[in-house]
């Protein structure tokens, strides 16, 4: 059920396939960026930011997991761990390999949930967060997927800068 930027034909046809394909391409850029690094390097800060490569993978995994849950359940409840600030850094004992396995599971789950949706116009209430407006906000499944694409692309760019600061490697050079 996976798409690949090496194969330009999405597994799903139409808009659903195009959106999943775009998300897969952004994930693959991140995976290129973290290829060949050690756990110590994955946890190392290289810029003024607190972000690390492992922290970015962990955050994107958590983000994809909670947004997919929001899209699937449509109950407006705050998914467990959505606001956990520990999602931005590797904890003691975590490995990059383990984080990447969790990321792959989140990706497969997203594709399964999207494949089961009747249509992308399905609107769901977003959970209330400290930054939410007082009224309930609704997003379509399409908007949630677009949000995941944007979030993944943004953090893949952050990861590329961190990696280049770490050892001079860049995603573009590693493709």
Instruction: Kindly report the backbone phi and psi dihedral angles of residue 125, in degrees, each rounded to the nearest multiple of 5, phi listed first.
Output: -75, 140
* Nearest-angstrom CA–CA distance, 175 and 171: 6
pLDDT tens string 95-154: 999 999 999 999 999 999 999 999 999 999 999 888 889 999 999 999 999 999 999 999
| Pair 10, 17: CB distance under 8 Å | yes
* Nearest-angstrom CA–CA distance, 54 and 115: 29
CA dihedral 102, 104, 110, 112 (to 10 degrees): -110
Average pLDDT, the chain: 91
128 contacts: CB under 8 Å, gap ≥ 6: 76, 78, 136
Instruction: Enumerate helices (H) and strands (E) in the chain, giving the number of each.
Output: 6, 2
pLDDT tens string 78-104: 888 888 888 889 999 999 999 999 999
Of 25, 50, 4, 19, give the one whose Cα is nearest residue 156. Answer: 25
* Nearest-angstrom CA–CA distance, 89 and 101: 16
Percentage of the chain with pLDDT > 70? 93
């Amino acid at each position: 059920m996976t798409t690949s930027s090496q194969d330009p034909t999405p597994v799903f046809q139409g808009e659903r396939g195009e959106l999943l394909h775009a998300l897969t391409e952004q994930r693959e850029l991140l995976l290129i960026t973290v290829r060949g690094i050690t756990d110590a390097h994955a946890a190392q800060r290289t810029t003024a930011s607190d972000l690390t490569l492992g922290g970015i993978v962990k955050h994107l995994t958590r983000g994809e997991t909670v947004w997919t849950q929001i899209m699937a359940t449509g109950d407006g409840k705050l998914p467990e761990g959505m606001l956990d600030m520990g999602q931005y850094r590797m904890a003691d004992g975590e490995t990059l390999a383990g984080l990447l396995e969790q990321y792959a599971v989140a990706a497969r789950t997203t594709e399964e949930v999207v494949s089961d949706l009747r249509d992308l116009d399905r609107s769901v209430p977003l959970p209330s967060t400290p930054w939410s407006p007082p009224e309930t906000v609704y997003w379509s499944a399409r908007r949630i997927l677009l949000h995941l694409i944007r979030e993944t692309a943004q953090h893949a760019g952050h990861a590329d800068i961190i990696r280049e600061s770490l050892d001079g490697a860049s995603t573009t050079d590693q493709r």
